[in-house]
Amino acid sequence: MVGVKTVILCCVLGTSLCKSVGKGALQVEVTKEVKCKENQKAQEGDKVTVHYGGFLQDGKKFDSSFDRAQPFTFTMGVGQVIPGWDQGLLGVCSGEERHLVVPAPLAYGDRGAGDVIPPGATLLFDIVIVDVERANNKQEEELKRNQQEEAKRKRKEEEERKRIEEKEREEEKERRRQAQLAKAEEEERQQKEEEERRRAEEEETRQKQEKRKQEQQRRKEQQKRREEQERKKIEEEIKRKEELVKKEEAKLKRQEQQKEQESQRRKEEEEEEYNNPEDEYYYYDDYAPESSCEPGELKMQVTHSPSRCGKIAREGDQLTMHYTGKLSNGRKFDSSVDRNKPFQFTLGVGQVIAGWDEGLSGMCVGEKRTLVIPPDLAYGEQGVGAVIPPCSVLVFDVELLEIAN
């Protein structure tokens, strides 16, 4: 029993009496009773010599003076051993044997004792009393004084405890009174809040109803405006279509007039116009004479599209173009690119061959197209002098540079 409170402490050797018990009070069993006089029984302050064996509940032995063949001596009631020994060995006689079951609070509690005794462990001890040596009178008087002082201290503590309890009762009464007042005030406040909430809800409902009425009125007015706008749009669309019809009729009439004049004008101007191809464009005018050439279909392929198209070519727009014209065999007969001189004309009014008027419509600035134009939409069976043979299919690579209304 060396170390920790002579850590008996550690424990006790026993042999077989390892009963499994739960947490609770100290259990003391006298396994060998010895009769002795009262003044020979162990009391606080006496020196007691014992042999012991200490076990855990699972039967594991953790300490034994028997194994060391050396008894253990300690003074009762002064904290040299665990509380379970100080209490469980009071009144023993020399030669007596006891079995103690010590719960954790009277042993090593929740801390345990190193790796030997786990936290919260209940300990079992088999103890043989080897000798009881009574303390002298001075020690007995000191012990008695200590007991008296301890009793006095306990009385004071009890009186202080009662005073504190009385004070706590008074404070509790005051807390309850304050709580009742606070509860009454809270209920009154809640009633006021509920009344305010109810009035706010009524006002909100009234405002919503008013807002619904206003919204219904606004929708009616919007519907009326939409209907009026729709009516105007229909009227404008009818007017626009009538204007388009008139414009188309005028265009057809103008084309007929141009066709009647075309043959004569071509004969008069052909020679002069194409003798100097660098200064003139020989397909500005609308060629659409009656032709015996095999009819064909205009083919158009977009070869380049700009990333953005803010404006497209429409009938009546003035277009600025670059172009290169080739026959179907690949022979180039004209190019504004070679002259570095863009070509300007008005789309859809007969200033160019019909294949251009049709093939350039809807084109964006910066866009490039390839047009394959059949004879009946180009120069037909007349051709253009020695430059463009009769009934020629023409291929134009065009690029739109600018659009002006």
The residues carrying an active-site annotation are: 323, 333-334, 353, 379, 396
Residue recorded with tokens 């749009």: 233
| Cβ atoms 399, 367 nearer than 8 A | yes
Residue recorded with tokens 């990333």:
307
| Residue type at position 256 | E
Phi, psi angles (nearest 5°) of residue 254: -65, -35
Question: Both tokens of residue 260?
Answer: 């009647």
Task: Tell me the C-alpha distance between 56 and 62, whole Å.
Answer: 7
**Nearest-angstrom CA–CA distance, 223 and 231:** 12
The values of phi and psi at residue 10, to 5°, are: -45, -55
Cα gap 334→341, rounded to integer Å: 12
Q: Quick check: 17 and 99 in contact, CB under 8 A?
A: yes
Specify whether the CB–CB gap between 388 and 333 falls below 8 A.
yes
The DSSP result for 328-395, as a single string, is TTS-EEEEHHHHT--EEEETTTTSS-HHHHHHTTTPBTT-EEEEEE-GGGTTTTT-BTTTB-TT--EE
How far apart, in Å, are the Cα atoms of 249 and each of 237, 257, 350? 18, 12, 14
CB of 367 closer than 8 Å to CB of 312: no
How far apart are the C-alpha atoms of 17 and 41, rounded to whole Å?
25
Strand intervals (E) in 210-356: 299-304, 318-327, 332-335, 343-346
Taking CA atoms, 44 is separated from 82, 125, 203, in Å, by: 14, 20, 85
CB 388 within 8 A of CB 379: yes
CA–CA separation, 229 and 238 (whole Å)? 14
Residue 143 · residue 135 · CB < 8 Å? yes
